[in-house]
Structure 1
Amino acid sequence: MERKSNHFSGQLGFVLAAAGSAVGVGNLWRFPYLAAKDGGGLFLIIYFILVLTFGFTLLTSDIAIGRRTQKSAIGAYAEMKPKWKFLGILTFLVPVLIMTYYAVIGGWITKYAVVYLTGQAKAAAADDYFTSFITSSTSPVIFALIFMGVTAFIVYNGVQDGIEKVSKWMMPVLLVLVVIISIYSLTLKHTDSSGQVHTGIQGFLYYLTPNLEGLTVQRFLQILLDAMSQLFFSLSVSMGIMITYGSYVKPDVNLNKAVNQIEIFDTGVAFLAGAMIIPAVFVFSGTEGMGAGPSLMFVSLPKVFAAMGKAGIFVGILFFVTAIFATLSSCISVLESIVANCMEIFHTGRKKTVSVLSAVYLAASAIIALGYSIFYVEVELPNGSTGQLLDIMDYISNSVMMPFIALLSTILIGWVMTPDYVIDEMERNGSRFRRKKLYRIMIRYVAPVMMFILFLQSTGVLS
């Protein structure tokens, strides 16, 4: 077996880098939005159960495959079963597509951070500010290129000197910022025009309390699917990232502890994101503000920060800096996955590979950033929504390819290779795999069915 020259220095470096990949922008806006939409505490309970079962299964599989094969997605699946190399190619294509637009979103967040840092918070709260920004033919491109450039620079410096070094300081800072904003949100108080007082504690209880009103079997299944899709994307599984990161893990690292730590870190940040956003929105916008959906971060939250007065400027700075860290850590992992596969395919060095891919994705980021202006298109997607270039790339990668890849990978591991292929790696060096029985059941029977249903639902077949 060919050993990789790049590797994480130890368990801490790996966990922080992997957790950084898992903790993306989706944790900061999509998780709170879904929790508010899907019954608060009810969504939380379902989500936490899925973390310990469904998420654990896919995360364990990806990391164990990576370390056992010492290869990234294409090489890993080819080594497992040559006839299944196509699954590695499909997995490789997911980050290839995601990378076209992730830096664009990172650029949007960076723009808002700059706006708050330069004292323009009031302007950001205007109704048409976000629309005016993304439809500009210059500003979104500039910020996307800056974000892409920073990402490429970190990956260029390698696993230990780039990814691990940045993750070791960025992830603890991100966690501290999320905790600070969460605590502050609980202290908020606002009296509306009717004289009714709304507090952060009330918003937090709204977040935690299971809302069973109007719950039907169909509604419950929708909440289950929402939680599954959030978990699926949040943990960075079935896109080759965790396989690549797993291939950088040294043999003496206890993968069982590492998987547990990644789960805890990712879920903890997601929970705290809800604790910092939902109470704040509840205080100043009531339950009506919970329906903001995808526009929550760029439209609703700036209005909430504006309503906080002078304190809102400081909170806005903290929030968007936090969002930059979350997005950057994920963007790094997406690019690294592509770089690692290309290095294996073309037998090129890291610096040359990163340089070529940087040029490609700087151009791609610029095109996607202009998808709301010069290259504007409007396409109706199979799930009933309409989208522009960014939405199309996101739909193909997240809603179609990732559930399909996860479905095929559970079949490969559960029935072709058998679960022992992963279990043996988890028990390497005498490590105890406490959830071994659960893993067997999930990978063979439960996960394939769940992924098949999610694939049908996300592609619009089930609506």
Structure 2
Amino acid sequence: MHENSSSFSGQMGFVLAAAGSAVGVGNLWRFPYLTAKDGGGLFLLIYLILVMTFGYVLLSSDLAIGRRTQKNSIRAYQSMDPRAWFLGVLTFLVPVLIMTYYAVIGGWILKYAVAFVTGQAGAAAADAYFVSFITNPWEAGLYAVLFMLLTAVIVYRGVEKGIEKCSRLMMPVLLVAIILIAGYSLSLSYTDADGVTRTGLQGLGVYMMPDFAQLTLGKFLQILLDAMSQIFFSLSVSMGIMITYGCYVRKDVNLNQSVSQICLFDTFVGLLAGMMIIPSIFVFSGMEGMAAGPKLMFVSLPKVFASMGAVGPFIGMAFFIMAGFAALTSCISVLEAITANCMEIFRARRETVTRVLGIVYTVISVVIALGYSVFYLEVGLPNGTTGQLLDIMDYISNSCMMPVISLCSAVLIGWIVKPDWIIEEMERDGSVMPRKWLYRFIIRYVAPVIMLILCLQAFGILL
């Protein structure tokens, strides 16, 4: 690595920073609406199985590659096998694309946090508030710029003083806040105009109980695609971020323990996020409120907070501040992956690279933010959906490139360099990698097949 002095202070600093990358918009924005869309408990069951198998394998692989090669993603794969140079380029391009829109979503969250802090909770609950905001070029652009600049400032400060320090502060606050709000959501009760009473515990049942009667092959494949894309997005795997973070991990850190802690923390927060959001929406909006899709956080939730009475604005303020923390730690990790690669490629200092990237992505973030107004367009995607600029970038990076990277990476590790190449690094500190047999089996036989199916589905070949 170019910046050899960069490293996390120890295992706790690394785990919190990696968890900060993993716990983000994917948990608070994506996870609840995917769960609601895919039948609640059915999605949860499949997701949990995939986290314990594929999530464990993919995260272990990325971290071990980073620490063993001491190179960022664009050169790490090439050092494993010269023929895999293209895989490093693809892995580098994923955060490059994600960074184009992550600050835009962060800006949306910042806008709502400001609205609740300044006493505009009632206005934020109006039907047209979100659409009015994202279609206002000046306002949407301003909040994207503010969020992008805040991210760049933290990355500019470096690994230990910037990324780790930020994560150590934000992650405990986020965890406490999400537990308190989830507990409050389960205590809610509401009687509508028809005299029907709905409770948070009933909403928990909607969230947690799988309905196997709905399960068909097509439904299973859709849930599988959604759950795997959520794992990519949530655990920050197959996008070079964890390879970069692996470079900063000291040799005496127990990677096996770290992987388990990161997976557990990320899954726990995701489950709590669903427990916080879905029961509260069910209480005040019934099943109709679940149909909001990606707008669940920005349309349905403010209405829920408005229905809570005097305590609603305070709960809403706590939620959006917490969501802002989560989005920021993830956005930092995406920019750090790009920064570290550029430092290595151009042999440049962190300060110089961060300044240039900060300017470039501030401009790009504004363009993407204006994709709902000045640059509005609708493009049909191969998976049968339509999307604007933000959706296109998300589809290319998350639904297409990540399964391709995971497929190629599984073939490289499983059949070319062999699984023991990863296992040796996981056991470098003297610990024993648990479930070695599972790692070898999945990376060689299961991952290539599943990733191929996801690729075919993402490209519209298998629907």
Q: Which bin holds the TM-score, normalised by the shorter protein? A: over 0.9
Tell me, in whole angstroms, the C-alpha distance in 2 between the residues paired with 1:358 and 1:386. Answer: 30
RMSD: 1.3
Aligned to 2:254: 254
Tell me, in whole angstroms, the C-alpha distance in 2 between the residues paired with 1:138 and 1:2. Answer: 39
SS in 1 for 2:198: strand
The answer to whether the Cα contact below 8 Å between 1:32 and 1:277 also exists between their aligned partners in 2 is: yes
Please identify, of 211-220 and 174-183, the stretch whose mean Cα deviation from structure 2 is larger: 211-220
Q: How does 1:146-157 map to 2 (within 5 A)?
A: 146-157=146-157
Aligned amino acid, residue 155 of structure 1 = V
Aligned amino acid, residue 21 of structure 1 = S
Aligned to 2:158: 158
SS in 2 for 1:428: coil
Aligned to 1:452: 452
Q: How does 1:124-143 map to 2 (within 5 A)?
A: 124-143=124-143
1:23 and 2:29 aligned: no
Aligned to 1:168: 168
Q: How does 1:321-336 map to 2 (within 5 A)?
A: 321-336=321-336
Aligned amino acid, residue 198 of structure 2 = H
Following superposition, the deviation at residue 132 of structure 1 comes to: 0.8
1:392 and 2:392 aligned: yes
Please identify, of 388-397 and 7-16, the stretch whose mean Cα deviation from structure 2 is larger: 388-397
Following superposition, the deviation at residue 288 of structure 1 comes to: 1.9
Aligned to 1:227: 227
Q: How does 1:3-402 map to 2 (within 5 A)?
A: 4-402=4-402
Please identify, of 353-362 and 386-395, the stretch whose mean Cα deviation from structure 2 is larger: 386-395
- TM-score, with structure 2 as normaliser: 0.98
Following superposition, the deviation at residue 184 of structure 1 comes to: 0.4
Following superposition, the deviation at residue 175 of structure 1 comes to: 0.6
Following superposition, the deviation at residue 342 of structure 1 comes to: 0.4
Following superposition, the deviation at residue 403 of structure 1 comes to: 0.9
Please identify, of 250-259 and 206-215, the stretch whose mean Cα deviation from structure 2 is larger: 206-215
Following superposition, the deviation at residue 3 of structure 1 comes to: 8.0
Q: After TM superposition, where is structure 1 displaced by more than 6 Å over at least 4 residues in a row?
A: none
The answer to whether the Cα contact below 8 Å between 2:2 and 2:344 also exists between their aligned partners in 1 is: no
Following superposition, the deviation at residue 106 of structure 1 comes to: 0.4
Paired-residue identity, %? 67
Aligned to 1:404: 404
Following superposition, the deviation at residue 338 of structure 1 comes to: 0.3
Tell me, in whole angstroms, the C-alpha distance in 2 between the residues paired with 1:24 and 1:377. Answer: 27
Tell me, in whole angstroms, the C-alpha distance in 1 between the residues paired with 2:202 and 2:380. Answer: 40
Following superposition, the deviation at residue 266 of structure 1 comes to: 0.2
Following superposition, the deviation at residue 215 of structure 1 comes to: 2.4
Aligned amino acid, residue 116 of structure 1 = F
Tell me, in whole angstroms, the C-alpha distance in 1 between the residues paired with 2:188 and 2:194. Answer: 18
Please identify, of 304-313 and 408-417, the stretch whose mean Cα deviation from structure 2 is larger: 304-313
Following superposition, the deviation at residue 290 of structure 1 comes to: 1.4
Tell me, in whole angstroms, the C-alpha distance in 2 between the residues paired with 1:209 and 1:306. Answer: 28
SS in 1 for 2:214: coil
SS in 1 for 2:278: helix
Following superposition, the deviation at residue 4 of structure 1 comes to: 2.1
Following superposition, the deviation at residue 331 of structure 1 comes to: 0.3
Aligned amino acid, residue 51 of structure 1 = V
Tell me, in whole angstroms, the C-alpha distance in 2 between the residues paired with 1:367 and 1:207. Answer: 37
Tell me, in whole angstroms, the C-alpha distance in 1 between the residues paired with 2:232 and 2:361. Answer: 25
Tell me, in whole angstroms, the C-alpha distance in 1 between the residues paired with 2:175 and 2:267. Answer: 12
The answer to whether the Cα contact below 8 Å between 1:39 and 1:212 also exists between their aligned partners in 2 is: no
Following superposition, the deviation at residue 217 of structure 1 comes to: 3.1
Please identify, of 225-234 and 340-349, the stretch whose mean Cα deviation from structure 2 is larger: 225-234
SS in 2 for 1:198: strand
SS in 1 for 2:252: coil
Q: Which sections of structure 2, spanning at least 5 residues, go unmatched?
A: none
Tell me, in whole angstroms, the C-alpha distance in 1 between the residues paired with 2:218 and 2:388. Answer: 30
Q: Deviations over 1:337-390 (max 9, x none)?
A: 000000000001111110111111111111111111112222222222222211
Aligned amino acid, residue 62 of structure 2 = D
Following superposition, the deviation at residue 182 of structure 1 comes to: 0.2
SS in 1 for 2:212: coil
Aligned amino acid, residue 55 of structure 2 = G
Aligned to 1:424: 424
Please identify, of 343-352 and 374-383, the stretch whose mean Cα deviation from structure 2 is larger: 374-383
Tell me, in whole angstroms, the C-alpha distance in 1 between the residues paired with 2:456 and 2:217. Answer: 18
Aligned amino acid, residue 69 of structure 2 = T
Please identify, of 38-47 and 16-25, the stretch whose mean Cα deviation from structure 2 is larger: 38-47
- TM-score, with structure 1 as normaliser: 0.98
Tell me, in whole angstroms, the C-alpha distance in 1 between the residues paired with 2:375 and 2:39. Answer: 38
Aligned amino acid, residue 364 of structure 1 = I
SS in 1 for 2:137: coil
Tell me, in whole angstroms, the C-alpha distance in 2 between the residues paired with 1:96 and 1:23. Answer: 19
Aligned amino acid, residue 89 of structure 1 = V
The answer to whether the Cα contact below 8 Å between 2:186 and 2:200 also exists between their aligned partners in 1 is: yes
Following superposition, the deviation at residue 2 of structure 1 comes to: 8.1
Tell me, in whole angstroms, the C-alpha distance in 1 between the residues paired with 2:337 and 2:421. Answer: 23
The answer to whether the Cα contact below 8 Å between 1:2 and 1:70 also exists between their aligned partners in 2 is: no
Tell me, in whole angstroms, the C-alpha distance in 2 between the residues paired with 1:312 and 1:461. Answer: 46
Aligned amino acid, residue 181 of structure 1 = I
Aligned amino acid, residue 437 of structure 2 = K
Aligned residues: 463
Following superposition, the deviation at residue 212 of structure 1 comes to: 2.1
Tell me, in whole angstroms, the C-alpha distance in 2 between the residues paired with 1:2 and 1:454. Answer: 35
Q: Deviations over 1:37-83 (max 9, x none)?
A: 32322222221111110111110000000000011101211211122
The answer to whether the Cα contact below 8 Å between 1:4 and 1:247 also exists between their aligned partners in 2 is: no
Aligned amino acid, residue 394 of structure 1 = D
Tell me, in whole angstroms, the C-alpha distance in 1 between the residues paired with 2:198 and 2:17. Answer: 39
Please identify, of 312-321 and 369-378, the stretch whose mean Cα deviation from structure 2 is larger: 369-378
SS in 2 for 1:138: helix
Aligned amino acid, residue 105 of structure 1 = I
The answer to whether the Cα contact below 8 Å between 1:58 and 1:237 also exists between their aligned partners in 2 is: yes
Tell me, in whole angstroms, the C-alpha distance in 2 between the residues paired with 1:217 and 1:386. Answer: 24
SS in 2 for 1:418: coil
Aligned amino acid, residue 107 of structure 2 = G
Tell me, in whole angstroms, the C-alpha distance in 2 between the residues paired with 1:39 and 1:393. Answer: 26
